[in-house]
Amino acid sequence: MDVSNDSNGLDNSAFENGGLNDAEAEFESDEEELTSDKALQVLESAWLNEKFAPELLPHQQLLVECMVQQIKHMEENVQRLTKGDIRINIHTMEICRIRFIISSYLRKRLDKIEEFAVHLLKEDARRSPDEKYMTTAEAQFARDYLTNIEKLFETVALQHMPQRCANFDLDAISMEPNLKKHVFARANKDIPTILISGVHEMEVSFAKGSQHIIQYSAIAHLVKDGSVQLI
């Protein structure tokens, strides 16, 4: 219960500004064919991938919205049940479990956005609108975060400094994710060749269902296209 309650604000704030553009609306018609249990599975794997990947993964705004909608429907249905119905308890519990996944997922993304704000904004500026990794709301969050940091530096220290070192340099606080971090992964299908570059250059293959520990950089593209699940 606690988890879902304090996350409510988070959910809303991440979606307020996220108006659907044409490309996304088109995509949504595909999305509707997804059954709710399938959507939940996809959300859950997105949650785990986001949790373990060192970099920010492309956003799943539609999926999250779809799930929030499902929860809303379910809550309305539950309201209509008569008191004492055994289903009330069961549905409420499931809703709490899904809320937990959604808020943990969004919170993890915000953590990464704070950490890599400068880098992410720069990267997303190069991408076309429907390829951006951050949602509109997340990008706004990143910009606000940087503005606030700058303001903090300014009021606390910079304004008291001599002129020549009173400049705020965004690049100086820019951090990039370390893509060579090691992650645990499970293959969702057979993958004949994966190239690990670097000091120990080698080629490996993943059989469907097999588990591995490997540099994230070698499988980053496979995580994004869904062939590999981080665990």
Partner 1 sequence: MEPSEVEFLGEKKMVSIVPHFSSGIIHLISGPVGPFRANLPVKVPIWLALNLKQQQKCRILAQDWMDTENLNELIEKEKGEKLFTEMPSDHFMDEAQMLLTAGADDIPDVDNIRTAVKDIWDLRNAKLRSSVIAFVKNQGSTYAKLDHLTAMEINSIRSLLPETLNVMLQIEESGKSSTSTESQQFSSTLDTTHSQNQS
List contacts with partner 1 (CB under 8 A). 36-37, 40, 51, 70-71, 74, 86-87, 89-91, 93-95, 97-98, 100, 178, 180-184, 196, 198-200, 202, 204, 210-215, 231
At closest approach, how far in Å is the CB of 198 from partner 1?
A: 7
- Minimum CB separation of residue 183 from partner 1 in Å reads 7
Identify which of residues 36 and 174 has a Cβ nearer to partner 1 in the complex.
36
Instruction: Give whichever of 82 and 163 is closer to partner 1, judged by the CB atom.
Output: 82
Closest to partner 1 by CB, 1 or 86: 86
Nearer residue to partner 1 within complex by CB, 52 or 153? 52
Q: Is the CB of residue 106 less than 8 Å from the CB of residue 11?
A: yes
Q: How many CA atoms lie within 13 A of 132 on its CB side?
A: 21
In the complex with partner 1, the residue whose CB is nearer, 12 or 211, is 211
The least CB distance from residue 26 to partner 1, in Å, is 25
CB of 171: closest distance to partner 1 in angstroms?
A: 17
The closest alpha carbon to 124, from 40, 57, 60, belongs to 57
What phi-psi label fits residue 198: left (phi over 0), alpha (psi between -120 and 50 degrees) or beta?
left
